[in-house]
Structure 1
Amino acid sequence: MTQRRPLGLTTISAALLAASAAATSFAAGNYPITPEQRQTAQQVAQAGVPLSELAPNAPDTYTVKSGDTLWAISGLFLKSPWRWPELWGMNTDQIRNPHLIYPGQVLMLIKSDGRARLQVGRDVGGAAGGTVKLSPRVRAESLYDGSIAAIPQHLIEPFLNEAVVLNGNELATAPRIVSAQENRVWMTKGDRAYVRGNLAPNVDAFRVFREPRPLRDPVSKEVLGYEAVYVGTADLTRAGSPATNKSQEVPATLTLTLNRLEAQPGDRIAPIPPRAYTNYVPHAPAGAIDGYIISIYGDAITAGQNQIVALNKGSRDGLERGHVLALWHSGRVVRDPTTPRREEVKLPDERHGQLFVFQVFDRVSYALILSVQEPVVPGDRFTQP
C-alpha cells in the first residue's frame, strides 16, 4: 500500500495540529481538518514562535538521527515541547501528514522580526553553506517509511491492547478457561488451555483477562470504570463442539502465546482487536482541566519516567489522545514552628513532570509519564500544561 507524500516541511504551521485530532490514523485515512483549522495553520505558518519561547541553547541547525522523535527534537528548540506545531514547518497543502522528516535531514532555525521558525534542508557536505533548503515535492512510499514519530512509540504500543477499561463487567459472559492440560493450576507460554463459551467466529487470536477491578475516583470514590487485568494472549488450536443428544460438549483448545501473568481457570477470553497504527500529535488541551491519578498500571506503588498511569478524566471531560498534561505533586502538611500554637500549614503543590495521554475511555484515560522529578503516586494532580 502506498501513499503520495511530500518530502519535507517548508513553512511553519501551528494551531493546525493542536486543533486537529491528536491521533491521526494513517491506515484509516481519517483527517479531521476543518477549513477554519486550515486557515489558522496558514496564518501561523507565516509567523512562527516568539524568540522568548526558544530554549536557551537552541541550536541553529540539527541533523535528524535515527531514533529521534518530534517531541525530543522540539525540546532542543523550545521551552515547551508540546508547542512544536507552532515551530515546525510543513506544507499546509499536505496538512494531513505532519510527521514527514527523516534521519539525515537538517533542521534550520530561522530567526527574523522577533520570531523563529524551522525549515528543513539536506546536508550536502563540505564547508559552510553545505545545506540545501528543500522545496516541497511528492514521492510515493509505504505508510511506514522511516519518518520519525512524534513520541517514543515503542513505550506505549504494548499497552494499546493491554490497557482496557470497561463501563461494566462485560467480561462476565465472555468465554472462560475451565481447565489446563495435565490438570495444571497455572498456565504459561506454550501451555494449552481448555475454554468453554462462544468464541468469536473466524477468529484465531485472543486476549486473556482476569476479573476486572474497579477504578475509583480518588476524591469522590465513585467507580469510573473497570480495568480488565491483562493476562496475555492465546491462539486457537482446536475448535470445540457443543453438546448434542449423542455426545457431550467438547471445550475449545487454546495455546498460550504470551504471558504477563500466569493464566488460570476462570480467566476470560476476548478477541484481539485489529492493530490501529496511529501517529500521535502532542498538544495542550484547548481549555482548563484538573484531575487526579487513579493508579499506577501494573500494581506498582509509585511510578517514574516512561511508566503508565490511569487518570480520572476521559473523553466525557474533554481529554483526547495526544494531550500533554502538567503533573503536580501534592504539597506536604507541616507545622509552623514560628508560632506558639504550631499550626498546621499545607505547602503549595509543586509541578514536577509531564504526562502524555495515549488511550482514552469514557471516564478514564491512560497516560505515559514523559518526565518527572519525584516518584508519582495515586492522588497526584494533573492540569493543562
Structure 2
Amino acid sequence: MKKFSTAGLLFALACTAASAATSTETPSTAAKCQFLDNAPDQHQVVRGDTLWSISGRFLQHPWCWPQVWGINREQISNPHWIYPGQTVYFDRASGQLRLARSVGSEGGLPTVRMSPQIRMENMAADAIPAIPASVIEPFLTQPLLIEEGRLADAPRVLQGGDGHVYMGKGDVAYVRGRIDGDTVFQVYRPTQPLRDPDTGAILGYEAAYLGTMKLTRAARADDEAHRFVVTSSVREIGVGAQLVPMPPTPIVNYVPHRPQVETSARVMSVYGGVAYAGQNNVVTINRGSRQGLDAGSVLELYRRAGVVADRAAGNQPVRLPDERYGSVFVFRTFDNVSYGLVMQVTAPVRVGDVARSPE
C-alpha cells in the first residue's frame, strides 16, 4: 500500500514573538505550561527524537509545547522544521524554547543567530516528527471503524475465482454492491462492536483490515457481479468481506491542544483486542468530531478510584478522587469515536478509564 508523506506528520515550529504564543490559548491553558524544576539549559536534537519527547525534557506537560515555542495553529502554513544536529535551548528570561545554532561566543556564552535556515535536500525525511510516526501510520490509511449504517451499503465479496472461499494476493474476487466509480478499495471485515461504556449504545464496529483490491471489470447489469483482483493481503480475504474506497493520502499537521469544548470521555477498547495498553499503544474513546474532538486534541487519563465506606460516619459511602496517570493524543476522529495514541503513562490503560480535558 502506498505510504502517506512523513511530512504530513510533522509539527510546525515557528520561532516568533512571545505575544503570538497565547493567540489561541485561554488563560487557564497558559497557566499549566510550566517548566520542570530541573529543565536543562539546552538539548541537542538527535535521530529518534520527537517534538513531544524534546518538549518533555523541559515541560511538565509536553502537550502544551506550542505555547512555549511561540506557535499558534494559524502558523502551520509557514513552518520551521527541527533537524538532528540543531540545538533547542531554554530562554529562561522569556520563558520560551528556541531553536538556534551557536555561531560564536562572547564571555563564554554562545551568540545565537535566529535567522531562518533553508534546507533543500530530503527535508521531509530528515525532519523530527511530532510523535512516533511509524506507530500511527497504518491507522491513518486503513479502515478502523465501520459506523452504524454503513454496513448495509458496503460492497461485499461473493466468492473467489473458481469458486474459492478464501483469496490472497493475485486472486480474482467477485463483488456485489455499489462502487460509485471507484476502482481501488480496501477490504475489511467487521469485528467486535464498540459500545459506549456510559450508555451501552453501539457506536460502530472495529474493522479488521484484510488487504486491497482493484476493479478489473465493473458489473454491466444489476444482477451481475463486479470482477476484482486482490492486489495485497495481510490476512485471508473470505466470502462476506466488505470493501471501502481507498482514502486519499492524508496530509495532517498535528498541533497538540486542549479540546475545543470541555470533554469527559471513556476508554472503549484497546486496539488489537488486548486488555491493557501502554505507551505508544492505540485506544478508542467514546467521543468524536460531533463532541468537538479533532486531530491533535490531548486528553488526560484517569483511573477511577472507587468508593469507600466512612466507618466513623455510619459507613457513609465516600467517592475517592480519580487519579491521573497519563495522557492520550487523538490522531483520528469519527462522528462519535476517536482513536488516540497513549503517551506517557505511569500505569496500564484499561477499558473504562476516564479521558478528559487537561485541568
Compute the TM-score of the two structures, normalised by the length of structure 1.
0.76
Displacement of 1:79 after TM fit? Answer: 0.8
Please state if 1:9 is matched with 2:15.
yes
Q: CA deviation at 1:273?
A: 0.7
- For the pair 1:301 / 2:307, whether they are aligned, the reply is no
Give the length in aligned residue pairs.
344
Q: Are 1:136 and 2:116 an aligned pair?
A: yes
- Checking the alignment, whether the CA contact within 8 Å between 2:33 and 2:64 is kept in structure 1 is no
Distance 1:124 1:267, change over 3 A: same
Distance 1:142 1:50 in 2: 38
Equivalent of 2:195, from 216, 226, 231? Answer: 216
Residue ranges of structure 2 left out of the alignment (5+ in a row): 1-6
Identify which of 196, 205, 208 aligns with 2:176. Answer: 196
Question: 2:129 aligned with 1:149, yes or no?
Answer: yes
Larger deviation: 301-310 or 351-360? 301-310
Residue in 2 aligned with 1:61? Answer: 42
Amino acid at match of 1:209: Y
SS in 1 for 2:92: strand
Q: Using the TM superposition, give the Cα deviation of residue 250 of structure 1 relative to its aligned residue in structure 2, in angstroms.
A: 5.6
The answer as to whether partners of 1:192 and 1:256 remain within 8 angstroms in 2 is no
Shift in Å at residue 175 of structure 1? 1.9
Report the residue type matching 1:73 in the other structure: I
Q: Distance in 2 between matches of 1:365 and 1:124?
A: 46
Contact 1:193–1:256 (Cα < 8 Å) also in 2: no
Q: Partners in 2 of 1:168 and 1:50 — Cα distance?
A: 41
Distance in 2 between residues matched to 1:17 and 1:340, nearest whole Å: 48
1:376 aligns with one of 333, 349, 357 = 349
Find 2:211's aligned residue among 233, 253, 258.
233
Listed as ranges, the gaps of 5+ residues in structure 1 are 20-39, 41-48
5 Å-filtered alignment, 1:319-330, equals 319-330=293-304
Amino acid of the structure 1 residue aligned with 2:36:
A
Q: Deviations over 1:138-165 (max 9, x none)?
A: 6777773632222222221211233544
What is the 5 A alignment of 1:102-181? 102-112=83-93, 115-123=94-102, 129=109, 132-136=112-116, 144=124, 146-181=126-161
C-alpha separation in 2, matches of 1:176 and 1:91: 45
- CA distance in 2 between counterparts of 1:202 and 1:220 reads 37
1:76 Cα deviation (Å)?
Answer: 0.6
In the aligned structure 1, how far is the partner of 2:275 from the partner of 2:88? 41
- Distance (Å, rounded) in 2 between the aligned partners of 1:250 and 1:287: 47
Looking at structure 2, the residues matched to 271 and 52 of structure 1 have their Cα atoms a distance apart, in angstroms, of: 42
State whether residues 8 and 136 of structure 1, in contact with CA within 8 Å, keep that contact through their aligned partners in structure 2: no
Match runs of 1:200-279 below 5 Å: 200-201=180-181, 203=183, 205-211=184-190, 214-223=193-202, 225-236=203-214, 238-242=216-220, 249=224, 251-259=226-234, 261-279=235-253
Aligned-residue offset at 1:62: 1.2
